[in-house]
Chains A and B, each alone.
Chain A
Amino acid sequence: MIEVRDLVKRYKKADRNAVDGVSFEVGAGEFFALLGPNGAGKTTTISILTTTLRPSAGSVVIDGRDAVRDPAGVRARVGIIFQQHSLDLNLSGEENVRFHAILYGLYPYRPFFRAMPRAYREQLRDLAGVLGLEAEIFKPVKKLDEPTAGLDAASRRNLWAYLRDVRAAYDITIFLTTHYLEEAEAADRICILDQGRVVSIGTPEQIKADLLDEFLLLDARDRQALHRELDALGLHVAESGPFKVDLNGHSAQEVISSLRTPLTLLRTSSPSLEDAYLKIVGSSMEAMA
């Protein structure tokens, strides 16, 4: 359970708030995505949530622990996966894993692999097996051919499959921040940030409905006749065609069946989440220009 209340962050020497009054809640076991263009305040928000940055105002409570008053308590309850690979290239894959396992207090420190507890050794071999890296896991990462290439596409897929499994098995909450819409689309709920503020929050369906309406695109050789008919139906459109008809709750069927003018163009448009997102990002870019 994550509760963010009226979060504000203004960096030193900045003349505007990087995060400007953000509030949201994430329920236990939920898959929540924080989405927004570059500079929207995602990194600032996640830095505050992971206790590496102190907010200017507002509060963050994660699993009952306050991020400012009890950062260690928060850190003990979250695990973080960074987007870029964050391996120490001088160490082997196994040494990287061991380092983090010890930092997270899962195992005691031992100077080499064979001295580690059996449970660790078995888990590591399992992991290497799953990744198909049995031979490579003990070699320094920088000595491997293309340590990242080849892993990326496959490991991305593996990661998502893994997260789905873990979530099902342990009822953990997943908090994703991304500017890739495709990644967010699978989330239970999405929060879209722009210029430090929450623009929209809800299920992907709600966001689509909030941000974009369904519309019909119509055209006819006799545009005047079509315009008159649409007017009569109470659907107001611009003077020049082709006409974009906002459905506002009407069904496309209902509109078309009442039209008599022969149409030369008929297209229905139901927005994708991408349209909704681009609309937000687009308007923010216009505002900046």
Chain B
Amino acid sequence: MKEMHAVLAIASRDVLKLLRDRSRLVFSFVFPIIFIGLMGGTLQANLGRAAGFNFIGFIFTGVLAMTLFQSSAQGLLSLLEDRENDFAQEMFVAPVSRYSIIFGKIAGETGVSLFQAIPMVLMAALFRVPLTPFQVLLMVPAAIIACLLGGAFGVAVMSLLGSQRAAQQIIPFLIFPQFFLAGIFNPIKILPWYLAPLSLISPLRYAVDLLRGILYAGTPEYDKIVLFSPATNLVVMAALFAGLMVVGTVAFVRSETSR
């Protein structure tokens, strides 16, 4: 019970920090306008008819998954920043288990990411992405799952890299290729042989595909866009989450005590 309160305190601190950071809030509103409005809009106008599906919806689901995943992953890195300043020292000498600290951090970054999803959904509605209220409702758990997966990815990367500087240099190389391998902006139904396996090991791909499964369910273009059934995506994500969490937490606790 005490640990639960600690998790909540750690998580709410991250959300509070977002709400206090005006430039971050503004950015989270501008970002979807650029991607969904500008990029989705132009692709829809030029390629939409030839592709035979709603390109704005395609970009929307991709960018939504990407934002949730990336924001959660990167949020976890703030634990390194915390560890390098005195505030975290205080957190780490408090009688709270390491698992609670990591879980609180993931929960907090999930909250932060979901906040950023709200303007995206508004933007999508504005650009007439065919979304029913029921689909939006279904997207909430899918979005939370994307955040948790991103958070677990962040924990693993953070623990294995150890320092904030190393993390900041390496994380773009781990996330940027996933934009293309997971098919955020580009259809990946057909991939050349050398990219197919790389795409399969990209965790982000499954989060994107799950959201697209919800958006395109029951439409004629479903088979053109969606790669795996939602059940398959969920199973793969659960396995990835468990694996990344175990590796990440073990490495984190070790890096902390066995220097």
Q: Is A133 an interface residue (CB 8 A)?
A: no
Once the chains bind, are A90 and B20 in contact (CB under 8 Å)? yes
Interface stretch of the complex, out of A71-79, A148-156, A161-169, A190-198:
A71-79
Q: B1-21, CB under 8 A of A: which get 1 and which 0?
A: 010111011101100110011
Interface residues of chain B, those whose CB is within 8 Å of chain A, are 2, 4-6, 8-10, 12-13, 16-17, 20-21, 85-87, 89-97, 256-259
Once the chains bind, are A103 and B257 in contact (CB under 8 Å)? no
B8 to nearest A CB, angstroms?
4
Once the chains bind, are B89 and A102 in contact (CB under 8 Å)? no
> Do A99 and B13 contact each other (CB < 8 Å), given the known contacts A86-B87, A87-B87, A108-B5?
yes
Once the chains bind, are B93 and A78 in contact (CB under 8 Å)? yes
Once the chains bind, are B90 and A100 in contact (CB under 8 Å)? yes
B92 to nearest A CB, angstroms?
5
Q: Quick one: closest B residue to A11, CB to CB?
A: B259
Q: How many angstroms from the CA of A99 to the CA of B9 in the assembled complex?
A: 6
Partner of A91, one of B16, B90, B96, B257: B16
Once the chains bind, are B86 and A84 in contact (CB under 8 Å)? yes
Q: Quick one: closest A residue to B83, CB to CB?
A: A52
Once the chains bind, are B95 and A105 in contact (CB under 8 Å)? yes
Once the chains bind, are B16 and A95 in contact (CB under 8 Å)? yes
Which residues of B are found within 8 Å of A51, using beta-carbon distances?
Answer: 93, 257
Tell me whether chain B's interface is mostly helix, strand or loop, or mixed: helix
Once the chains bind, are B95 and A52 in contact (CB under 8 Å)? no
Partner of A52, one of B5, B10, B256: B256
4 smallest CB-CB distances across A and B, nearest first, come from A86-B86, A76-B95, A109-B5, A109-B8
Which residues of B are found within 8 Å of A114, using beta-carbon distances?
Answer: none
B20 to nearest A CB, angstroms?
5
Q: Quick one: closest A residue to B82, CB to CB?
A: A88
14 contacts between A and B (CB under 8 A): A11-B259, A51-B93, A52-B89, A52-B92, A54-B258, A75-B94, A76-B95, A90-B17, A102-B5, A102-B8, A103-B10, A108-B5, A109-B4, A140-B20
Once the chains bind, are B94 and A103 in contact (CB under 8 Å)? yes
Q: How many angstroms from the CA of A98 to the CA of B12 in the assembled complex?
A: 12
Q: How many angstroms from the CA of A100 to the CA of B94 in the assembled complex?
A: 8
Which residues of B are found within 8 Å of A103, using beta-carbon distances?
Answer: 6, 9-10, 91, 94-96
Which residues of A are found within 8 Å of B87, using beta-carbon distances?
Answer: 86-88
Once the chains bind, are A86 and B5 in contact (CB under 8 Å)? no
Which residues of A are found within 8 Å of B86, using beta-carbon distances?
Answer: 82, 84-86
Q: Quick one: closest A residue to B94, CB to CB?
A: A103
Given known contacts A105-B6, A108-B5, what 10 new A-B pairs fall within 8 Å (CB)?
Answer: A12-B258, A51-B93, A52-B256, A82-B90, A84-B86, A87-B87, A88-B13, A91-B17, A103-B94, A109-B12
Q: Quick one: closest A residue to B256, CB to CB?
A: A52
Partner of B13, one of A72, A84, A91: A91
Residue from B20, B93, B94, B258 with most neighbouring chain A CB atoms (10 Å): B93
Q: How many angstroms from the CA of A245 to the CA of B17 in the assembled complex?
A: 66
Which residues of A are found within 8 Å of B12, using beta-carbon distances?
Answer: 109, 111
Q: Is A53 an interface residue (CB 8 A)?
A: yes
Q: How many angstroms from the CA of A68 to the CA of B87 in the assembled complex?
A: 23
Once the chains bind, are B85 and A86 in contact (CB under 8 Å)? yes
Once the chains bind, are B259 and A102 in contact (CB under 8 Å)? no
Q: How many angstroms from the CA of A140 to the CA of B21 in the assembled complex?
A: 12
Q: Is A50 an interface residue (CB 8 A)?
A: yes
Once the chains bind, are A50 and B9 in contact (CB under 8 Å)? no
Q: How many angstroms from the CA of A31 to the CA of B55 in the assembled complex?
A: 70
Which residues of A are found within 8 Å of B17, using beta-carbon distances?
Answer: 88, 90-91
Which residues of A are found within 8 Å of B9, using beta-carbon distances?
Answer: 98-99, 102-103, 109
Q: How many angstroms from the CA of A84 to the CA of B12 in the assembled complex?
A: 24
A221 to nearest B CB, angstroms?
61
> Do A12 and B94 contact each other (CB < 8 Å), given the known contacts A90-B21, A103-B9?
no
